[in-house]
Structure formats: C-alpha cells, structure tokens
Amino acid sequence: MTQQAECEDCARALAGLWLGYRAGCTSCAARAIARSPTMFDAAASRAPAAITALREACTRALPTLPLEQARAEVMRWWRHDKGAPATALKRDTGTP
C-alpha cells in the first residue's frame, strides 16, 4: 500500500529522512509522536504505564481522531521510520 502525504513535510519524510513538521497537519503530529521518547519507551518496555503514556500523547496531539485511528497513524510512521535508511543519523559518530 502506498502512503499518501498530507503535506510537503510528510511527503519529504516519506521520501527519506526528514525532520520538518507542519502545524495543523495531523500526519505530522502522528510522526512527531512516533519519533518521541514516549513512543520509544512504549515500544522498548511494553510496560502498561508506558502504553498509557503513549495513548495519552495520541489523545492530546491528535484530538480530532478516534484513539485507534490516532494510534494506527503513529504506528504507520513508526514502521516507516524503522525501514528508512538511518545513515544520515549514524554518520560521524565513529561507532558502528
């Protein structure tokens, strides 16, 4: 399934590593959550408190979407970023 970009920043993020966000774009808000420490904690620990914090972040940042739709959009970006090349982030660190 091909993802549709909701704005220019989302289009660039779909095409490669892009860190721009646009106010008022639901997909940008979901992408911000997907890249947040809250998401990292929930994915890494799967602890109930971390999952609850992620749900609360979805509710706050994506108030116009039902929770399950908001979570699905966040997970869409999470999966997208995990498959994206991260060489730009790893460059010049001196570690593998």
What the block records as the tokens of 2 is 């091909």
x/- letters, 9..48, toward Zn ion (CB under 5 A): xx-----------x--x-xx--------------------
To the nearest 10°, report the CA torsion of 80, 1, 43, 84. -20
**Given the complex with Zn ion, which of 28 and 39 has the nearer CB atom?**
28
Closest CA to 81 of 42, 33, 49: 33
Binders of Zn ion: how many residues, by CB under 5 A? 8
- For Zn ion, the binding residues (CB under 5 A) are 6-7, 9-10, 22, 25, 27-28
